[in-house]
Amino acid sequence: MERKGNWIWGLKRLFIVAALCFSIFCVFCSGIASKYDVSAYYVAKAMMRQGTLSLIRYFTLAYDPVSAKVATAGPGDEAVDVGNKDCLRIEDYFEALRLHGQCGIRIIKIDNEKIIKSSFTFSYQPYDEPILHEVRTKFMLNEVVAPAGNEFEKLILLRNWTRSQFKRSDYQPVTQDFNALEILTNKVRNLEGKAWEPGYYNPCSLFPRLYAQLLLSIGHQARIVQISHGPHGAGHGMTEVWSNQFGKWVTMDVDLNLHYEADGIPLNMLEVHNKRYTKGPSSVKVIRGVQESGDFEYEKQIDIEEMIQYHSYIKIADMRNDWITNHYFRGHPKRTDRSSLFWVDKNLQPSFNFMQKTDNIDDFYWTLNQTEILVKTSGKSKNVLELVFKTFTPNFKHFEITVDDSDNVISTSPLYKWELHSGRNKLYVRSVNKFGVSGIPSFVEIMVDQEA
């Protein structure tokens, strides 16, 4: 009897502790719900889900069953950080010489790119993916963009082509890992005009990913972003593409087939977001493309002020674009909220979510495809500059170097000895990726005195 009584008392104590924990959890959820203006049920469900995902995350830190392929970002094993030690940017090196009274070199012009890094990791699609090359050749994407007069026109032509492949009502079946080749090969037409239903991509999810993968297939980097009016609920998906021509990320709304410009410069979603704080009529213009899908609503005018307000809450929806090659199970950190980056605007009502967050513009808008010129300060000869080229170019292939007016030199090494001569000296360098797309050049022009 005594053992039975102890057993019953133990169960009672367990029940009391469980009830107390549940009560504390409910009070906590109610407090969070009040702060973020959501239901307590929404908070409780999100907390329980996040608890499960956190356990999976810790397991993958100990052992990750997914062996992901990684795109190279620079030359050799040094990749990005080569040459930082005992080096100066070339303009700082010349300034140091001047301050130490070592004359003889006069700067004519220096355009030296500055690489901006994010403190968050983005996973890039590797070059050696057969599907990537098959979709480019099968649908003749190089021919699609061939009429373009410059890089940005090329991006627009491909956007127009992408949007022309489907009507908004042509809902495509959801695939486990998004595959542009499969979707374009097995086009589904909604001739009966059926309403969207689960298991199919909605337009503002389909078009951004489709466009992103087609961009990747011709050597241009892209990422999926999302905007929304409010802190919770559904948003609108778009693509941001890295433009070498403008040296920045640019928003492309493929579903609506448009981009935004101010003073002739294309904008990213944060730049549009910040226009909400500008007094008076906005200078932002909506630039619409031409598409042949048969969707006639694209003749309607778009209210720019309304679209600016739609950019209230913004995020990078997926901190990866390697969907074709690297496949993660549901719940893996690369396939959850942890793979999104949410922009924090302290002027707006806070959003309750478990995404990565930042209010640092460098975290949100890092740079790509630049070459930064450094000089080793330990160089022995004043007539030979020991240069170090620093780059972050996904799927890097080589540097293209031009000295004075000579032919281009192709080099896979980040190290280069620049032999100076009296008179005018010029050096031009840029990275090139494996698709043959050239990055943003850096340029140095100096005058060397005869006595130097």
Q: What is the pLDDT along the chain (452 residues), one digit of tens a residue?
A: 555 556 666 666 777 766 776 677 676 667 766 677 777 777 677 777 777 878 888 888 888 888 899 999 998 644 444 545 689 999 999 888 877 666 688 899 999 999 999 999 999 999 999 999 999 999 999 999 999 999 999 999 999 999 999 998 998 999 878 999 999 999 989 888 888 888 889 999 999 999 999 999 999 999 999 999 888 777 899 999 999 999 999 999 999 999 999 999 999 999 999 999 988 778 899 999 998 887 866 667 888 999 999 899 999 999 999 999 999 998 899 988 889 999 999 999 888 788 899 999 999 999 999 999 999 988 667 789 999 999 999 999 999 999 998 888 999 999 999 999 999 999 999 999 999 999 999 999 999 987 65
Three-state secondary structure call for residue 39: coil
Residues 205-244: b if buried by 16+ CB within 10 A, e if exposed:
bbbbbbbbbbbbbbbbbbbbbbbbeebeeebbbbbbbbbb
Pair 320, 221: CB distance under 8 Å: no
Query: What local confidence, expressed as pLDDT, does residue 116 receive?
Result: 98
Query: What local confidence, expressed as pLDDT, does residue 451 receive?
Result: 63
Contacts of 52 (CB under 8 A, 6+ apart): 331
Q: CA 222 to CA 245: how far, in whole Å?
A: 15
Pair 446, 103: CB distance under 8 Å: no
Query: What local confidence, expressed as pLDDT, does residue 193 receive?
Result: 81
CA dihedral 145, 151, 157, 160 (to 10 degrees): 140
Q: Global pTM? A: 0.90
Lookup result for tokens 């630049």: 370
Neighbours of 285 (CB within 10 A): 14
Contacts of 314 (CB under 8 A, 6+ apart): 225, 226, 227, 228, 269, 270, 273, 343
Strand pairing report for 423-433 and 396-403: antiparallel
Q: CA 166 to CA 292: how far, in whole Å?
A: 9
Query: What local confidence, expressed as pLDDT, does residue 292 receive?
Result: 85
Query: What local confidence, expressed as pLDDT, does residue 78 receive?
Result: 46
Tokens encoding 48:
């329980």
Contacts of 343 (CB under 8 A, 6+ apart): 270, 273, 313, 314, 315, 357, 358, 359, 364
Query: What local confidence, expressed as pLDDT, does residue 29 receive?
Result: 64
- R_g of the chain computed on alpha carbons: 27
Q: CA 350 to CA 339: how far, in whole Å?
A: 19
Query: What local confidence, expressed as pLDDT, does residue 337 receive?
Result: 84
Query: What local confidence, expressed as pLDDT, does residue 80 receive?
Result: 42
Query: What local confidence, expressed as pLDDT, does residue 6 receive?
Result: 64
Helices 40-62, 2-36: axis angle to 10 degrees equals 110
Lookup result for tokens 């609503």: 297
